[in-house]
Amino acid sequence: MSRKTDMMTALERRQPATAVPIWEIEFHAWDSASGRHVVLGREFERLTPEEQERAMRANAEIIADVSREFQFSAVTGPASYWNQAPGELAYYVLPDETRFRQFELLRKTADDLALIGNSGGVLGANYSMEFCVKLFEAPEEIDQLARRAMEFGVGQARQYRDLGADAVFAAADIADNSGPFFNPEQMKRFILPYLNEWAERCKAMGLHTILHSDGKLTKYLDAIAETAVDALQAVDPVAGMDMKESRRIAGDRLCLCGNIDCGLLLRATPEQVYGATRDLLVSCKAGGCLALGASNAVQPQVPMENYRAMIGAWKDHGQY
């Protein structure tokens, strides 16, 4: 059985035959893991078309090689441009006209891995005063925003499907460390119906679907598990989400992905990372419905000895 099969089986909410799959929603440590350089964002923009094509081919080789070294079951392709802070472009991005070409090259280079695209499709929290006022005074406008986000996500998913994607995810932070952004009535109106429709329409194309959200989502975990979405990524330990408790609530209705604290990967010792990973796997792997990874992007500053400690714990405790 291949690592890709492990991921697809987990997304089907069954126990893989060989091991808990490893998938990072975004891995940003390609350079330090490989000793080579992945060209993205503004640096990529400055290249000629011929240089861009060579860079994308080299990117695909590096991403595939590192993914195989760490025995990933799946890998995410670069996203479109977005700012991780005001005026600060995110790391794992490419211009729209080239990110699908990079995805195509990844599919050809890493056919042994499940390939996952960031399609969007779900409205996330917006802390602007205008948005918050509209939630109460013009809810029909929020309906329109949610509908447009969902339709856009379906269109993006179709493009990824045509390039050989196995799954897509919608990154929509609907909670923070204090709890959900939306109240129950707002969740029922603006989030859950569109999440369900996006997932159903993507699944009709043959794609598995994943919701990513940071924050404390325990209150709504049961409702999310009742939609057509296959998996939830983050299970944010910084916000107090416990993987064991989340598994109890979701049962076999959701594959839960992540939960290794990004701060732990950055600042802890390899022994501490190994211990946390071991504990998660031992307590939560039975029955499947689990994918191992960081709770969010693996940052470039993560010491490789720490990341390899996570992989070492998986080798010792992540097998079925």
Residue 38's nearest CA partner among 20, 22, 61 is: 61
Helix (H, G, I), strand (E, B) or coil at 168: strand
Give phi and psi for 92, each to the nearest 5: -90, 65
Look up the pTM and report it.
Answer: 0.96
pLDDT, tens only, 256-284: 999 999 999 999 999 999 999 999 999 99
Tokens at 43, concatenated = 């640096």
pLDDT, tens only, 139-172: 999 999 999 999 999 999 999 999 999 999 999 9
Helix (H, G, I), strand (E, B) or coil at 180: strand
Q: For residue 97, what pLDDT is reported?
A: 87
